[in-house]
Amino acid sequence: MGKAIGVFDSGVGGLTVVKELIRQLPAEDIIYFGDTARVPYGIKSKETVIRFSIENILFLLKQEVKLICIACNTVSSVALPIIQNHFKVPMVGVLESGVREAVYATRNKRIGVIGTRGTIKSRAYEIQIKQLDPQVKVTAAACPLFVPFVEEGWLSGRPVLEVAQSYLKPIKKAGVDTVILGCTHYPLLKPVIREVLGKKVTLIDSAKQVAMEVKNILAQEGLLNKGRRGKQRFYVSDNPEWFSGLAKRFLGRPVRGKKSGAE
C-alpha cells in the first residue's frame, strides 16, 4: 500500500463515506478507523470528543496517510475547527461539504437539517448555513431512532415509515426544498425519507460532497493515484465481529475489521 486516505468515525456510519470514496476514487487506498469501543460521540462532552479525535488522528498518522477524512458529524461540528490547525495533513469534515452544497442547491432559501440529538443541539449546521447565506431559513429535527433502525437493518416497512413521518413533520411543514442528511447512517434511509418529503425535495448526502472535496484536494496537491485498483483496511477499537457484520450492510460486500487501539 502506498500513502492512503485515512477515514475515521465513532463507529460504522462513516462507511457511507468510504463507499463513496471507493466509487469516486477507485485507485486510492483507504484506511478506516471506527472507534467502536467509545461510540456514540454525540452524548460526550466537547473536551472528550476533542481528545478522542486527536487520538484517532494520531493512529491514522502512524499509518502514514496523506489526507484525513472525518466521517463523523459530531467531530466535524465540535472538534474539527479546533484541531485542524494542529496537524499538517489536510483534513476534510462532513459538515462544511454538506452545507456548501445545500446553500448552492436551495431555490426558496429554506433548508432542513436532520441528525442525531448531539448534532442538532450543537446548531453547527445552522450556524454554518447562516454564515454562507444569512437569508436562509433553517428548520432542524433530531431523528434519534434512525441510527438503530439502520444498524438493525430496518430500512423500510410501516414502523420505519411512521417514525420518519413523525420526525419529519416540522421539516415538511416548513416547506423546505433542500434537506441535509446530517448523519452518516441516514443515506441508507433515503427511500423512506424521500417517500415522506416528496421527490421535489433535494436530499444532500454529505458522503458524496466529502468524496468530491477529497478528490479536489488530492488533485490540487498532485497526490491522486492513477491506473490501479485501491485497497482498503479496516480497524476498530473494539468488537470487530459486530463491525464486520454491519460493514457488509453499508458497503454491500464482506469486510474484515481488525482490532486496534486508537492510542
Residue type, 73: N
Annotated catalytic residue within 70, 71, 183, 204: 183
User: 194 and 141 in one domain?
Assistant: yes
User: 212 and 161 in one domain?
Assistant: no
User: 10 and 89 in one domain?
Assistant: yes
Residue 27 DSSP SS3? coil
User: 196 and 115 in one domain?
Assistant: yes
Over the stretch 65-91, which tens digit does the pLDDT of each residue have?
999 999 998 898 888 888 988 899 999
pLDDT, the chain, mean: 92
Annotated catalytic residue within 5, 72, 99, 193: 72
**Cα gap 238→258, rounded to integer Å:** 9
User: 169 and 116 in one domain?
Assistant: yes
Q: Could you tell me the CATH number of the domain that includes residue 193?
A: 3.40.50.1860
Structural domain harbouring 147: 95-206
| pLDDT tier, 122 (very low <50, low <70, confident <90, very high otherwise) | confident
Whether omega before 254 lies within 30 degrees of 0, making that bond cis, reads no
Last residue of a domain, one of 206, 226, 241: 206
User: 76 and 26 in one domain?
Assistant: yes
Cell of 62: 502512524
CA dihedral in degrees (59, 65, 67, 71; nearest 10)? -40
143 is catalytic: no
User: 102 and 167 in one domain?
Assistant: yes
Residue-level pLDDT at 152: 85
Decide: 53 and 30 in contact? Cβ < 8 Å. no
Cell of 123: 446548531
Over the stretch 13-55, which tens digit does the pLDDT of each residue have?
999 999 999 999 999 999 999 999 998 887 788 899 999 999 9
Q: Looking at the 3D structure of the chain, how many domains does it have? A: 2
69 is catalytic: no
